[in-house]
Amino acid sequence: MKLTRIEAPKFEDMDLPNYDIIHDVIGRLSNDLNKQLEDYVIEGLKRKGFELKNRVELEAFIKERCRCEDNISLKEKVYYVDNTPFLFHNYKSEPLQMPSITDSEYKISANLGTYAYL
C-alpha cells in the first residue's frame, strides 16, 4: 500500500466563502422571523382588547406590561399581558430542508414551531 501525502492548501491560496452574503441572508431571515413574531404578538394583544398604534408603542407596552415564560425542556413559551396568557409558542423545530433552486433563486424552508392565541 502506497501512502499519499495530503497537503493543506496555503492560506493565501484558499477560496473563502463570501461572508457578506452569508451575513446578509442571516440578517434578512432574522428580521423576517422577528417581524412574524411581532405580528403574532400584536394579533394576540388585539384579541385581548389592546390596540397599539405603531411598533414604538408596542415596544413600550411590552416592556411595561408583558412577560414571557420559557419552558426550555418542553421548548414552549407562554406570553403574558398583565399576568394573563395571550400567546403560546411551541418552538420545537425541524431541520432545514435542502435548498431548492427555482428561477435562479434559492428557497429554504423550515418548521420553526407553532403559535396559538390564548
Q: What is the DSSP string of 36-97?
A: HHHHHHHHHHHHTT---SSHHHHHHHHHHHEEEEEETTTTEEEEEETTEEEEEEE----PPP
pLDDT at 100 over 60: no
Mean pLDDT lowest among 19-23, 70-74, 79-83: 19-23
Per-residue pLDDT tens digits for 56-66? 898 999 999 99
Tell me, what amino acid is at 39?
D
Cell 417581524, located at residue: 35
Return the domain boundaries, the chain: 19-117
Question: Is 0.75 topped by the overall pTM?
Answer: no
pLDDT category, 80, cuts 50, 70, 90? very high
